[in-house]
Structure 1
Amino acid sequence: MKFFRKYRIPQTPEQRKERNKQLLLASLGGVLLGLSFPPIPLPFLAFFAFIPFFSVIEQRNSLVSINRISYVFLFFFCLITLYWVGSWTKEADPFLMISGGLLLFANPGFYLIATSLYFLSTKIFSKKISLLFFPLYWVFFEYIYSLTDLKFPWLTLGNSQAYFNQFIQVADVVGVYGLTLLILYINIFLYFSLQELKNTKKINQRYLFAALLLFFLPMIYGGYKTAAYDIPQKQIKVGLVQPNINPWEKWSGGSINDQLNNLFELSNKAVQKGARVIIWPETALPCYLLGGNYTYELERIHQFVNEKKISLITGMPDINFFFDIKNAPKGAKLLRSGEAAYTSYNSILTFLPNSQTVQKYQKNQLVPFGEKVPFVEDLPFLGDFIKWGVGISSWNVGTAQNVSDLNYTKVGAVVCIESIYPEYITKLVNNGSDFLAVVTNDSWYGYSSGPFQHKEISVLRAVENRKAVVRAANGGISCIIDPIGRTLAETQFFTRDVLVGYVPVYAEKTFYSKFPLVIPLIAVAVSLFTILFLLLKPIFKLIKKKS
């Protein structure tokens, strides 16, 4: 400590007071922003949570000082919203706890991409103009974060508005990234208005009008869309099975047939209520059903589907063997015996009556560390070093966005965290999905904010694409969400249950479904322009000087 004290710059009492004030303001902003996210029903806090933060960063001039105070703001934001990631239950795997703890400190650091771009912008433009670019820098970060191996875009700012149904209706045009822009620009114009009031004792009506306009235009649009919505004539009765099996015990052994009997019992209840489509949750059975060792269980499922004349969509592990090792695909792993290579996927299987063909969907978007070790293709030793107790940290990455074709309808079914990727979901919509399904197991995280946040993110996917979303979750929350984002029915968390209801099939394809990357690409262009202009600025100066 004496070593660091030696290089510390002395501060006057006034400077220390100002520093503490700025720390308090940054912390307050982070807390307000965190409280705007589900499950806390205070989405409106997001519309002014950035104001204390903006007042602080505008007073700072160096990259280090801006990012230091930004980290404080972002740490409190992430602490409130992501505290649950480590699970912190008595059965939780130590590796998951460590990863969750590290995420709380690492995730705020990724957001510094946006504040760093703001700093670079101040070297070209005034602070005021740079602040007007800040929303685009933020969206740039949100988008590129969703593309990397370390991706975890859970806290996309627009997700904070999931409870604000009328406001989010505009997402069918602008998507969740457009909601992010609206939230940030409302904050900026309110901040400008307050600064003007502070400096001149007068309210700048232009800034206030701009903030109100950005708020009320989506509200008017949302009021129109909800009033104009008619329940579609085509509806499909779906049964969502929620077996509520302890996920930590599920993978440690036990009878597969006992678990299958449990699923059949709940499915029978759904069939008795008229369900045509039955959906089981993620990895409904802890086995490679199509791997060749479970022919009896596989035949039981075919028999059930044939007898009940229903379609079954289920989450299930899947494995493929390659005995010609040299021609095995990239990412294939060797059996311990070395006799063959294999790929394994967190998959969705679809069974149809009177058909032995099983349709497969292999999860494309994997959870970093939880399902796939980042950069493991280039650094294979990481796969052995980083592995957690239930042994599911080494899935392969699926590449196809195929939908479940039930002959009379098509279902865009995804696994768990895939539902948080907005542009990815549009690929399934554009491949013909009539409605969307999410099979998931959120029980790993106990009764925390995580499962509730996950459920509400599906509300945004429904609105963006005007497609109903159904969720089959192992321990909850299973639900049916209509195309305007209303939850029609849902189960309680940690209950053994089956939910049966009609799913509206909406034919409309939204502007966002067709063009999901308009706003992200604008943000990318502005961000790259900022960087390029700064790099070329010395050349421009030199040319001007010579001329």
Structure 2
Amino acid sequence: MTDSKDFKFLLPWGGAIASGILMFVGYAGFDQFYLEWFFLLPLLWALRGQRPKRAFILGWLAGIVGHGGGFYWIIQMFQQFAGAPWIAGVFGLLLLAAANGIVLAVWAWGTTLVTRDRQWQVLWAAPVIWTAMEKLWPEVFPNYLGASQYRISHLTQIADFAGILGVSFLVIYINATLYWATVCWREQRTMAWRAIAALAVTLLLVTGYGELRIREVERKVASAQRLTVGLVQTNRGAADNHLAVDLMQKEHRDLSRELVAVQKPDLVVWPEGVLSVSLASREGSLPTWALGDLQTPLLFGACLQIKEEGETRFCNSALLADGSGRILGNYDKTVLVPFGEYIPFGDIFPQLYAWSPYSAKFFSGRSTQPLKLGSHLLSVSICYEDIFPTHIRKLMRGGGEGRKADVMFNLTNDSWYGNSVEPVEHLALASFRSIENRRSLVRVTNTGISAFVDPVGRIVSRTGVWTREVLVDRVPLLDGGTLYGAAGDWIGWLCAAISLFVIARSTLSKKARASV
């Protein structure tokens, strides 16, 4: 009898852990995307009959397991990026997993609260509350659940009006329907025909919309003007910026000269942080030998030192130069990595930088203007900025002049994360910016994955990870906008409003019953 009680006590915790495992194995990188369609079923069964407070803890456990398994590369990032010892990396991973796990904790608490009297309401409450949490909960490394479906193009096209949050909503709706169908069959031996039919119709509409939009975008691409772009990936990690800087820069120049001689691109692109550049102003020229004497426009990442507004600033920048070395434009990274590119509260407590000598102190950029190459407008982001939908949407609005770019570029250094799933996760998340804005995305990294992503979000061509390669493609230049570009994360805000309303109503209803 004791064993049976122990088993019943442990079963919900096992369900929470199982959902966490299914969550990270189904995510981008591990790429078992179909697991995300039912990863919540063990947790939903674990939540049956639980009080909301205990549901919160069970959801948090699932979130910690899911994010801990999916973000294991954080350990190496802390070692490489901040020079922290291994144990500090483990502690950092636990902190990040616990922080990001709050999404599942609040989701479990809210869903349990809303559905305790009418269990069928899980069909709408689960996706609404999840989408609200993905929108509202701040994360250092956003990891939208919808990114798990990045290879299923017919399901992801709804991102051009609902963003990646819309795809997350769809995935949770599938989970909720499968769970409810299982409950009905197991407890009542009946089929939840209405719920199943509603899901079938939804999937039919989503895939039908996907097919129509793919065909429409492909027609525009077929008649679009194109820019031939060459990417240079030298397979030099972050440490080479300090230990072998001359060799690293020489290899970029040598590979670029070979690329230009054979492929004759309109633009060559180098990844983040290749050169160190000191400028008196944001105009002028750079020596052509430093850029490889390519006689071809070059977009490259640089550590920029510049004196502005009476102070010397260091910026993580992207510079665009023409074939003669003349600077055509530049972009400073805006969304900086905490503890790597700045230390939170470091301006108030400067001693923090002394305690973390590997942390840089970069100035956050302010401009959202695209860079101009001839008649073409290029929107540029740096490193993990391309996983922030609202930031890329802001860049694509073209700044004060409203000049919308024809194509998006991202310059990245992903070597901090070792030989892990992070480069695939990063690329999968970034690919949704192409759908949301209906523009091609060109990503160049120092160690992989460099890639060309079409306006449908498909990865047209890519390099390997930790490989030395060049990659060339003819990129279509498009115009126009999307509903997402105009309205942003409307579905997230709508779900947040609904969630607050129904949770408040459920809480007041509980208090009213308790007072009777």
Matched, 1:161 2:131: no
| Mapped partners of 1:374, 1:473: distance in 2 | 26
Contact 2:233–2:447 (Cα < 8 Å) also in 1: yes
| Mapped partners of 2:315, 2:465: distance in 1 | 27
- Identify the residue that residue 21 of structure 2 maps to in structure 1: 31
Q: 2:133 aligns with which of 141, 165, 190?
A: 141
| Mapped partners of 2:114, 2:30: distance in 1 | 40
- In structure 2, the CA distance between the partners of 1:410 and 1:99, relative to structure 1 (3 Å rule), is farther
- Residue 534 of structure 1 and its aligned partner are, at CA, apart by 7.0
- Identify the residue that residue 48 of structure 1 maps to in structure 2: 38
| Mapped partners of 1:399, 1:540: distance in 2 | 51
- Identify the residue that residue 197 of structure 1 maps to in structure 2: 185
- Identify the residue that residue 311 of structure 1 maps to in structure 2: 297
Matched, 1:275 2:275: no
- Identify the residue that residue 119 of structure 1 maps to in structure 2: 109
- Residue 382 of structure 1 and its aligned partner are, at CA, apart by 3.1
- Identify the residue that residue 4 of structure 1 maps to in structure 2: none
- The equivalences for 1:128-527 within 5 A come to 128=119, 129=121, 132-146=124-138, 151-153=140-142, 155-228=143-216, 229-230=218-219, 231-252=222-243, 254=244, 256=246, 258-272=247-261, 273-285=263-275, 287-290=276-279, 298-300=286-288, 308=295, 310-321=296-307, 324=310, 341-353=311-323, 356-385=326-355, 387=356, 389=358, 391-392=359-360, 394-431=361-398, 432-527=404-499
Contact 1:166–1:222 (Cα < 8 Å) also in 2: yes
- In structure 2, the CA distance between the partners of 1:90 and 1:382, relative to structure 1 (3 Å rule), is closer
- Identify the residue that residue 401 of structure 2 maps to in structure 1: none
Secondary structure of 2:72's counterpart equals helix
Residue by residue, what CA displacement relative to the aligned partner does 1:138-174 show, whole Å, maximum 9, x if unpaired?
223222334xxx6221x21111111222211221121
- Residue 447 of structure 1 and its aligned partner are, at CA, apart by 1.8
Secondary structure of 1:187's counterpart equals helix
- Residue 509 of structure 1 and its aligned partner are, at CA, apart by 1.5
| Mapped partners of 1:39, 1:71: distance in 2 | 23
| Mapped partners of 2:103, 2:77: distance in 1 | 30
- Residue 117 of structure 1 and its aligned partner are, at CA, apart by 5.9
Contact 2:369–2:395 (Cα < 8 Å) also in 1: yes
TM-score by length of 2: 0.88
Residue by residue, what CA displacement relative to the aligned partner does 1:264-322 show, whole Å, maximum 9, x if unpaired?
2222223221201111100012x244379xx9x931358856x61x2211111112336
Residue by residue, what CA displacement relative to the aligned partner does 1:314-352 show, whole Å, maximum 9, x if unpaired?
11111233684xxxxxxxxxxxxxxxx432221111112
Gaps of 5+ in 2: 399-403
Contact 1:88–1:97 (Cα < 8 Å) also in 2: no
Secondary structure of 1:509's counterpart equals coil
Superposition RMSD in Å: 3.1
| Mapped partners of 2:513, 2:280: distance in 1 | 66
Residue by residue, what CA displacement relative to the aligned partner does 1:38-76 show, whole Å, maximum 9, x if unpaired?
22332121111111111112331041x222222221222
- Identify the residue that residue 6 of structure 1 maps to in structure 2: none
| Mapped partners of 1:33, 1:121: distance in 2 | 18
| Mapped partners of 2:189, 2:507: distance in 1 | 40
TM-score by length of 1: 0.83
- Residue 371 of structure 1 and its aligned partner are, at CA, apart by 2.0
Secondary structure of 1:401's counterpart equals coil
- In structure 2, the CA distance between the partners of 1:524 and 1:398, relative to structure 1 (3 Å rule), is farther
Gaps of 5+ in 1: 1-10, 325-340
Which letter maps to 2:380? A
Residue by residue, what CA displacement relative to the aligned partner does 1:395-420 show, whole Å, maximum 9, x if unpaired?
22222222111122111111110010
- In structure 2, the CA distance between the partners of 1:471 and 1:28, relative to structure 1 (3 Å rule), is same
Contact 1:79–1:104 (Cα < 8 Å) also in 2: yes
| Mapped partners of 2:16, 2:510: distance in 1 | 34
Residue by residue, what CA displacement relative to the aligned partner does 1:177-222 show, whole Å, maximum 9, x if unpaired?
0111111111111111111111111111011122323333222222
Count of matched residue positions in the alignment of Structure 1 and Structure 2: 502
Contact 2:15–2:43 (Cα < 8 Å) also in 1: yes
Secondary structure of 1:298's counterpart equals coil
- In structure 2, the CA distance between the partners of 1:123 and 1:281, relative to structure 1 (3 Å rule), is closer
| Mapped partners of 2:88, 2:364: distance in 1 | 21
- In structure 2, the CA distance between the partners of 1:121 and 1:475, relative to structure 1 (3 Å rule), is closer
